[in-house]
Amino acid sequence: GVERGVCDIYDAVEQLQKCYNDWKDNQSRWLKEMGKNGRKAVLENYDFDTCVYPQWKKVFKRMLE
């Protein structure tokens, strides 16, 4: 039941190049912005009690069977 997107390799290379250039130039503005956006998305959309715990509960339940 897991859906995954197909990665555009050219876009992936472009994004990695941006990360590298930002890091290399000691700017880190783009990297910091991406990090903040990622953290915000996690805090808004993921929660241990609703995302993580139910999955672990299933695993442990299956282990006990």
The answer to whether 51 touches 42, Cβ cutoff 8 Å, is no
pTM to 2 decimal places: 0.49
Q: What is the pLDDT of residue 14?
A: 92
- pLDDT tens track, the chain, 65 positions: 556 677 788 998 998 998 888 888 877 788 888 889 999 998 988 888 888 899 899 999 999 98
Residue 45, judged by CB atoms within 10 A of its CB (0-12, 13-18, 19+), counts as exposed
Q: What is the pLDDT of residue 59?
A: 93
The DSSP-derived string for 1-62 is: ----PPP-HHHHHHHHHHHHHHHHTT--HHHHHHHHHHHHHHHHH--IIIIIHHHHHHHHHH
Q: What is the pLDDT of residue 3?
A: 63
